[in-house]
């Protein structure tokens, strides 16, 4: 996938600084940044899935109990 983006001055400076310290291509720096962000989101995704599952269980139990 090819992206064309505009960065504000602060973000551009941060990207340049990361690139200077790591000697990595800008594309690799961005790919790794996306990978890190994705990893951070995983616990939140798992929490959402578990919360939804518990809610569905409670609703199913309530519906079963109230129909008796």
Domain ranges of the chain: 11-66
Mean pLDDT in residue range 33-51: 80
Q: Who wins on pLDDT, 15 or 57?
A: 15
- For the ranges 1-5, 26-30, 55-59, which has the lowest average pLDDT? 55-59
Check: CB of residue 18 under 8 Å from CB of residue 29. yes
The span from the CA of 64 to the CA of 13, in Å, is: 59
What's the mean pLDDT when you consider all of the chain? 83
What are 44-59's pLDDT values in tens digits?
Answer: 667 767 777 776 767 7
The secondary structure of residue 67, as a DSSP letter, is T
The span from the CA of 38 to the CA of 33, in Å, is: 9
Residue 45 is predicted with a pLDDT of 67
Q: Is this prediction's pTM over 0.75?
A: no
């Amino acid at each position: 996938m090819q992206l064309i983006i505009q960065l504000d001055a602060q973000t551009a400076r941060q990207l340049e600084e990361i690139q200077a310290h790591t000697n990595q291509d800008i594309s690799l720096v961005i790919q790794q940044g996306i990978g890190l962000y994705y990893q951070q989101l995983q616990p939140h995704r798992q929490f959402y899935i578990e919360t939804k599952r518990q809610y569905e269980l409670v609703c199913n139990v309530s519906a079963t109990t109230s129909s008796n």
